Amino acid sequence: MRTGTNLPAIGGYNQAVVLDAIRRASDGLSRVELAERTGLSAQTIGNVSRRLLDEGLVRETGKVVNGPGKPRTILQLEGRGSYAVGVHIDPAVITYVVLDLRGSVVSHSRTRTPSAKRPAEVIELMARSISHLIDDSGVDRSLVLGVGIASPGPIDAGAGTVLDPPMLPMWKNVPLRAALSEATGLPVLLEKDVTAAAVAELWFSRENERQNFAFVYYGTGFGTGLVLNREAVRGSTANAGDAGHITVDPAGAVCVCGRAGCVGDLITPRSLVQQAIAAQVLPPLEPDADDPTDMAAISRAFQRLAESAGTGQPAAQLILREAGLHLARAVVVLVNLLDLDEIVFGGPFWDEIGDALLAVLPTAVETDPALIPTHSLLFDRSSIGEDVAAVGAACLVLDYAFSPRPSAMLISV
């Protein structure tokens, strides 16, 4: 946990430190406990607590007796104090959520992406859907801090532009942040989808959890969100985590990048479906399912593949086992490179095959002769669910507004 400072010039930072401490304590904290955890003086804690109460961000929830002296009043986060909208753009569907300050989903919807080839149409749909979602939630619009967008990469975070995502072929240099902000009248943040998913895991974790981990995102495509020392790793252009071109099978099929055996080419839902068709586990797809932006047929076939493996069909089980081994080799590279201690798995397609892959993946990683770190690794599922990227996008807004940032202490001239 970050500690505060008693210099009066940085009251905003101290307020964020106190709010963050309260948020991470599910049962709340007394003012005495806040002083102990943050290193702030009792007077500073009193002043900050009063401001947070006045702004409706925390509430007093009762008193507890802890030894001699007066009972201590507990402060808890007031979930209805602020809200954020999260949007996840996928070639197949767009997911929307409204989160309160506690991170609870108060409203949720999905729409099928009308056409990945027409960005303007998608942005118009997003603006309408966000407006309807806020109305349906009953939330006071004045308490909505902004909109977070989780988009496939690569992106230009500084300019708020989606550059050239491989599954959105006509989305080149789309000024998404500015266009959506103009359409909604709300501030907008743009983040790479896998990073947004990792931010969601951070937002909901305890202080001693999720220290150094990779979030393995398994959706229409494959990617990783990276966290070191509880800070999301974004890189110089906010495009860190593109692990899809790690070579895991030199004798494998040639990827679109020109290399053979890229993990992102071998284990995506479309690839596994194609392998299942070649092995006669599944019948051929409908003729129009070759369109890479139309995932409806792939989703149905992928579910049938998972069901076949679940009922013991040997060829289907072999396909998923090989996918687990391919993913394990990529995980070894990530762990070696960043000295991670945890791998978290999630995304809209993960639940269907997660059990099958995790049956082989941990052992494959830990027994790989290329693995360098000697400490134990934790393999975990995301507790947030398939909407983790949309939830993470909303968490970005809350994090930007309320999390303590040392840069806030800098004096501008």
pLDDT, residue 116, reads: 56
Q: Which residues of the chain have pLDDT under 70?
A: 1-11, 65-70, 114-117, 207, 287-294, 405-413
Q: Are residues 111 and 257 in the same domain?
A: no
Q: Is residue 152 part of a domain?
A: yes
Q: Is residue 409 part of a domain?
A: no
Q: Are residues 91 and 45 in the same domain?
A: no
**H or E stretch at 216:** strand 213-218
Q: Are residues 126 and 171 in the same domain?
A: yes
Q: Are residues 213 and 353 in the same domain?
A: yes
Total domains in the fold of the chain: 3
Q: Are residues 241 and 259 in the same domain?
A: yes
Q: Is residue 412 part of a domain?
A: no
pLDDT, residue 351, reads: 93
pLDDT, residue 112, reads: 80
pTM here?
0.85
Sign of the Cα pseudo-torsion (11, 13, 18, 23, in order): positive
**Helices and strands in the chain, H and E counts:** 13, 15
Q: Are residues 67 and 107 in the same domain?
A: no
Q: Is residue 377 part of a domain?
A: yes
Q: Are residues 168 and 212 in the same domain?
A: no
Last residue of a domain, one of 20, 53, 77: 77
Q: How far apart are CA 146 and CA 131, in angstroms?
A: 12
User: The CATH number of the domain where 31 resides is what?
Assistant: 1.10.10.10
Backbone angles phi, psi at 215, to 5 degrees: -95, 110
Q: Are residues 352 and 228 in the same domain?
A: yes
Backbone angles phi, psi at 297, to 5 degrees: -65, -40
pLDDT, residue 220, reads: 85
Q: Concatenate the DSSP letters of all residues of 49-60 into one string.
A: HHHHHHTTSEEE
Q: Are residues 216 and 161 in the same domain?
A: no
Q: How far apart are CA 166 and CA 171, in angstroms?
A: 9
User: The CATH number of the domain where 256 resides is what?
Assistant: 3.30.420.40
Q: Is residue 297 part of a domain?
A: yes
pLDDT, residue 301, reads: 94
pLDDT, residue 271, reads: 94
Q: Is residue 2 part of a domain?
A: no
Q: Is residue 344 part of a domain?
A: yes
Q: Integer distance in angstroms from the first to the last C-alpha of the chain? A: 29
pLDDT, residue 411, reads: 43
Cα atoms found within 13 Å of the Cα of residue 30, Cβ hemisphere only: 12
**H or E stretch at 77:** strand 72-77
Q: Are residues 227 and 357 in the same domain?
A: yes
Q: Concatenate the DSSP letters of all residues of 257-269 into one string.
A: TS-B-BHHHHSSH
Q: Are residues 238 and 354 in the same domain?
A: yes
Are the beta carbons of 344 and 382 closer than 8 angstroms?
yes
Q: How far apart are CA 91 and CA 99, in angstroms?
A: 23
Q: Are residues 362 and 378 in the same domain?
A: yes
Domain that holds residue 170: 82-200+390-402
Q: Is residue 410 part of a domain?
A: no
pLDDT digits 0-9 by tens, 107-146 = 999 888 766 567 888 889 899 999 999 999 999 999 999 9
76 beta partners = 59
Last residue of a domain, one of 56, 77, 98: 77
Residues 82-108 as b/e (b if ≥16 CB within 10 A, e otherwise) read: bbbbbbbbbbbbbbbbbbbbbbebbbb
Q: Which among 238, 314, 327, 242 has a CA at the least distance from the CA of 281?
A: 314
Alpha carbon of 170 to those of 68, 125, 162, 174: distances in Å?
Answer: 68, 17, 11, 9
Last residue of a domain, one of 61, 77, 93: 77
